[in-house]
Amino acid sequence: MAFFEKLKAGLAKTKNAVFKQVDELFKKFVKIDEELMEELEELLICADVGAATTEDIIEKLRDKIKSERLTDGDEAKNALKEILKESIGEGAELNISKGELCVILVIGVNGVGKTTSIAKIANKLKNDGKRVIVAAADTFRAAAIDQLEVWTERAGVELVKQNEGSDPAAVVFDAINSARKKQADVLIVDTAGRLHNKKNLMNELAKINRIIDRELSSASRETLLVLDATTGQNAVNQAKEFKNAADITGLILTKLDGTAKGGVIFSVKRELDIPVKFIGVGEKIDDMEPFNPDDFVNALFDNNEE
């Protein structure tokens, strides 16, 4: 199945609960008036787009309707789609330099889908011809190491690990040496998600980053934050906290297939101004792809629109 079809299927809950009604709203109104705008505002907030983000979108739509003299529902709907695409910006690719090792730190609280996201990205990179090594640097939970081992085996990539309670930075050091020795293209590092103790989290990430700076000073770097779409606006608050603890370069939004709150992606972008780099719409190893805003917005509307 092409990923666009998976995306449409994965966004079905958000589409059926909210954007189907948006579609019907534009068909129902003979003219574009304030009553339509108020109903549209309500629907966007129901999709967890967020109050402030919704207000921005509605104001831009009003301006567009006025400046372009739009008169019917289809024109207004297409204008809304363009505004939604603009509001989440362009898709951003991973910063992977050819011929040099790239390091990807993956952060996020337990339960957001961090382990599976690492395996899915590793699988995608491997299928793109990259040699990938994963470091199990979340050493505070034996279950985290075991789970990562199962998923990396499924992805067919190598895992570097130590015992539970080991120094995470030591695991990263070993993984760097392994990556050098095996001439890997990408090193993905799993980290502990202890947001409740921000000071420890910051110290741990700082120590890992110092090891990478010392051992791989010229390597391209990414710090990707994993967010669970089913938590809606809580994901935005979580991201703000992590942004204070780490230099985040991109977001991974997971579990979009399990929620009607897919609109949170618009709020995340507005509040944080960090690009969404990957989205997950299922549990299988290939159910994650680089984020494409055009495909995302098209998948939220009519099933026949691509």
Could you give all domains of the chain from N- to C-terminal order, each with its CATH number? 3-88 (1.20.120.140), 102-290 (3.40.50.300)
Percent of the chain residues past pLDDT 70, beyond the cut: 95
Q: Say how far apart CA 300 and CA 288 lie, in whole Å.
A: 17
- Averaged pLDDT, 109-132: 93
pTM: 0.89
**So what's the pLDDT on residue 133?**
97
Burial 188-204 (b: 16+ CB within 10 A, else e): bbbbbbbbeeeeebeeb
Q: How confident is the model at residue 1 (pLDDT cuts 50, 70, 90)?
A: low
134 forms beta bridges with 159, 188
- Averaged pLDDT, 268-296: 88
**So what's the pLDDT on residue 152?**
95
Question: Tens of pLDDT along 139-164?
Answer: 988 888 999 999 999 999 999 999 98
Which tokens belong to 158?
């190598």
- Averaged pLDDT, 14-39: 85
Question: Tens of pLDDT along 185-244?
Answer: 999 999 987 655 667 777 888 899 999 999 998 889 999 999 998 888 888 888 888 888
Indicate the range of 51-65, 77-91, 127-141 predicted with least confidence.
77-91
220 forms beta bridges with 102
Dihedrals phi, psi of 272, to nearest 5 degrees: -115, -25
Q: What is the mean pLDDT of the chain?
A: 87
Give the H or E element holding residue 204.
helix 198-215
